């Protein structure tokens, strides 16, 4: 994952973009931000759009299915 710093105050989420981004310019990607009790997931093309908020256990279970 590549770290992508958010601009603004420290209360904003820090988003991480997958190093396995698809598309010719890396435009097909999911980004995540990890908070103490949640994992936030968004489309990297729609950074101002909606995002999913998941418990860490759900995110871990999802990732385990990818192996």
Q: Per residue in 23-53, pLDDT tens?
A: 666 567 888 899 989 999 988 888 788 889 9
Quick check: 37 and 54 in contact, CB under 8 A? Answer: no
Sign of CA dihedral 42, 46, 47, 50: negative
Give this prediction's pTM: 0.69
| Residue 59 predicted with pLDDT over 80 | yes
> In this structure, what token pair is assigned to residue 36?
């103490």
What mean pLDDT is reported for the chain?
A: 77
Q: Which residue has the tokens 């299915």?
A: 65
Residues 22 and 53: their CA atoms lie apart, in Å, by 23
């Amino acid at each position: 994952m590549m770290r992508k710093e958010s601009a603004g105050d420290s209360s904003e989420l820090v988003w991480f973009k997958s190093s396995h981004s698809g598309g010719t310019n890396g435009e097909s990607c999911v980004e995540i931000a990890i908070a103490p009790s949640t994992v936030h997931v968004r489309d990297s093309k729609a950074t101002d759009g909606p995002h999913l908020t998941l418990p860490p256990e759900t995110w871990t279970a999802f990732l385990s299915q990818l192996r």
